[in-house]
Amino acid sequence: MNQPLTLFEPDRTKMPVTTLADYIYPAIQKQYVTILTLEAKVLADDDIEAIHQMRVSLRRLRSQIQAFTAVLDIPKYMGDKQIGKIAKVLGKVRDLDVLQNTCKHHQSNLPDSEQIHLDKVASTIVKRRRKEILKVKLMLNDRDYQYFKLGVNNWLNNPQYLPTAQVEIKSILPELLLPTIGQLFIDPSWWIDQDSGIDPELAVSQLLLIHGDIFHNFRKQMKATRYLMEIFVDRYPAQYLDYLKDFKQVHQLFGNIQDNLVLDKFIRKALGKRAPTKLPTLYDRIARSNHLNWNNWQPIQDRYRQSTIRQEFQLFLIKELI
């Protein structure tokens, strides 16, 4: 169902100024080409990194579609929801691959009494993954996925923009970035603190139990912000990379925490509610890991709580655009 992809190059003689379209097209094209390139490896299932990278490209593409909704005329089959469905199927396999690697990392360093229980968890992961990778292979051959590829391919061969996309980038980019930054800065995660009156590791564990969904949504918002900012790194001076570095770090820290939460949830399903008592050493490590990630997050949290820092960043996006 694929049609040959003809790469689109804007006619610079007719487009004397740099527009949003000049950035949007190559951003979408790059992710689509990556997705196509990785298909065979994902179907062969001989490289878990292929699944990871394909999922990342789908997520980047989805973030782009969401961010550029106001300036793109997007066909249904390359829309936000369609991409999300595809990425979700891959995500289930990726989560299991991360769990499998984590189990392998811990298996050689646990007491024998805990090895037995972790071996059971590892066996459950292998069985679950066999089922989920079959779903991925079916998905990559089904009609909806083929229509998704056809939709992106057709758009790349004949890109459709709303008038805003043809506006000079210097006069419109801050209006594109600032709403995303504003949503990020009003997320409640910036103002959630651990209880200072109890054991620090326990305090962080309680926070994650109570506010886990908030932090998960915060990570997704941070990821979308990071992906959007990365498209425009050449439009700002070097300080832009400092802000981007902060957001990358937060994305990674909460990704580590999310991996631990997924591991905990999976272990409890495999071993039951008494899982922490069956794997006390492992759960101690999870608690320490979460505490370490939280400690690394706190300096960034404290910095961006300051209204002057947030306002400086927002003014920077307006005043320092190249």
Give pLDDT, residue 151.
94
CA distance linking residue 207 with residue 280, whole number of Å:
20
- pTM listed for this prediction: 0.91
What is the distance between the alpha carbons of residues 92 and 89, in angstroms, rounded to a whole number? 6
Q: Do 50 and 41 contact (CB within 8 A), yes or no?
A: yes
> Are residue 201 and residue 316 in the same domain, yes or no?
yes
Structural domain boundaries enclosing 97: 1-168
pLDDT at 196: 85
For residue 10, the model assigns a pLDDT of 52
Among residues 118, 144, 168, the one where a domain terminates is 168
Q: Are residues 131 and 265 in the same domain?
A: no
Greatest extent of the chain over all pairs of C-alpha atoms, in Å: 72
Residue 7's pLDDT is 52
The predicted structure's pLDDT at residue 2: 56
pLDDT at 15: 47
Distance (Å, whole) CA 282 – CA 277: 10
| pLDDT tens per residue across span 186-211 | 999 999 999 888 899 999 999 999 99
Q: What does the alpha-carbon distance between residue 297 and residue 310 come to, in Å, rounded to a whole number?
A: 17
Is residue 3 located within the same domain as residue 133? Answer: yes
Q: What is the distance between the alpha carbons of residues 167 and 169, in angstroms, rounded to a whole number?
A: 6
Examine the domain organization and report whether 225 and 164 are in the same domain.
Answer: no
Cβ neighbours for 163, distance < 8 A, ≥ 6 positions apart: none
Nearest partner of 86 among 123, 138, 121, judged by Cα: 138
Question: Do both 221 and 299 map to the same domain?
Answer: yes
Whether 45 and 117 map to the same domain: the answer is yes
- Of 168, 195, 214, the last residue of a domain is 168
261 and 316 assigned to the same domain: yes
Statement to judge: residues 104 and 227 lie in one domain: no
Task: Identify whether the C-beta of residue 222 lies closer than 8 Å to the C-beta of residue 65.
Answer: no
User: In this predicted structure, what is the pLDDT of residue 109?
Assistant: 82
Domain count of the fold of the chain: 2
Whole-number Å distance between alpha carbons of 204 and 275: 19
CATH number at residue 110: 1.40.20.10
CA distance linking residue 264 with residue 99, whole number of Å: 10
pLDDT beneath 70: ranges in the chain:
1-16
Burial class of 193 by CB neighbour count within 10 A (0 to 12, 13 to 18, 19+): exposed
Please, which residues have CB within 8 angstroms of residue 99's CB and are 6 or more apart in sequence?
Answer: 125, 262, 263, 266
147 and 182: one domain?
A: no
Which residue from 207, 188, 187, 210 is spatially nearest to 196, judged by alpha carbons?
Answer: 207
Neighbours of 189 (CB within 10 A): 19
- At what angle are helices 173-185 and 307-319 packed, to 10 degrees? 170
**Residue whose pair of structure tokens reads 């062969």 in the numeric block:** 44
Say if residue 121 is in the same domain as residue 219.
Answer: no
pLDDT for the residue numbered 316 = 98
131, 153, 168 - which closes a domain: 168
Are both 126 and 250 inside the same structural domain? no
Cα 322 to Cα 257: distance, rounded to the nearest angstrom: 37
Whether 176 and 301 share a structural domain: yes
